[in-house]
Amino acid sequence: MATVRRADALSRDRIVAAAIEMLDATGENGLTFRSLAAHLRTGPGAIYWHVANKDELLAAATDAVLNRGTPASEAGRSPQDAIRAIALTVYDAVEAHPWIGTQLVRLASQRVVFRVFERIGRQVQALGVAPGDQFNWASALLYYMTGVAAQNAGLAREADPALSRHDYFTSVTAALDPADFPFTSSVAAQLETHNDREQFLAGIDLLLAGITTLNDSR
């Protein structure tokens, strides 16, 4: 016999879903056990019956967001395209839920991170990379992805959300002395339209080009 529950009973899933909603709406700083409990029309203590602590809650929310939808099958495309697709999945998830960027770097979320690592690693193998390089190069791809994610999350958390990243970059660089920052200033001056997603992919392509080159020369 299944346990009888009130229709509005709490559950781990409902709590995680509500947490995601609040994180998306009010950012990382907007989620507290008190605000979450109020949202769920209960007391803060109730949440602890279903979730061990805030770290676990954030990890569960990250996990849920990254595993939404069916993971695109890697069949039928080149390993390079598969890696690009995996990378964009993560990128787009961070774009939609900036707070994940912070979580990917936390201990409680390492299970999710290893899932991405595994998918990347298989494609690195499919590229015919020598066994001795597989770990390093799969790691490089992952570090790059989490690096972008963490930066984006950091800015989303603290910068004015009304500012695009393009605006942000130009406003920060405008404060720099061009005499001390010739490269940054020259680059900022050229910058008309700057697409962050394309820039992210350019980095992935750089790593893929490196893998191809170094792999052939060994």
Q: Which residues bind DNA (CB under 7 A)?
A: 3, 9-10, 31-35, 41-46, 48-50, 53-55
**Crossing angle, helix 110-126 and helix 131-158, to 10 degrees?**
140
Instruction: Specify the residue, 61 or 124, whose C-beta has the smaller distance to its own copies.
Output: 124
54 binds, among DNA, its own copies, none (CB under 5 to 8 A by kind): DNA
81 binds, among DNA, its own copies, none (CB under 5 to 8 A by kind): none
80 binds, among DNA, its own copies, none (CB under 5 to 8 A by kind): none
Rg (CA), the chain: 21
139 binds, among its own copies, DNA, none (CB under 5 to 8 A by kind): its own copies
**Residue 177 DSSP SS3:** coil
184 binds, among DNA, its own copies, none (CB under 5 to 8 A by kind): its own copies
181 binds, among DNA, its own copies, none (CB under 5 to 8 A by kind): its own copies
Residue 68: HSE in the Cβ half-sphere, 13 Å Cα cutoff: 15
Instruction: Specify the residue, 4 or 183, whose C-beta has the smaller distance to its own copies.
Output: 183
> CB of residue 65 vs its own copies: minimum separation in angstroms?
18
For residue 72 the two structure tokens come to 């695109």
Residue with tokens 């020369």, as numbered in its chain: 217
Residues 78, 85 contacting (CB under 8 angstroms): no
Q: Residue 82 CB: number of other CB atoms within 10 A?
A: 21
Burial class of residue 109 (count of CB atoms within 10 Å of its CB; 0-12, 13-18, 19+): buried
CA-closest candidate to residue 215, choices 120, 139, 134: 134
> CB of residue 49 vs its own copies: minimum separation in angstroms?
24
Contact residues for its own copies, defined by CB under 8 A:
105-108, 110, 114, 117-118, 121-122, 124-125, 131, 133-140, 142-148, 150-151, 153-155, 157-159, 172-173, 176, 180-184, 187, 190-191, 194, 199, 202-203, 205-214
> CB of residue 16 vs its own copies: minimum separation in angstroms?
21
List CB contacts of 118: < 8 A, sequence separation 6 or more.
none
Instruction: Specify the residue, 95 or 133, whose C-beta has the smaller distance to its own copies.
Output: 133
Residue with tokens 């962050």, as numbered in its chain: 196
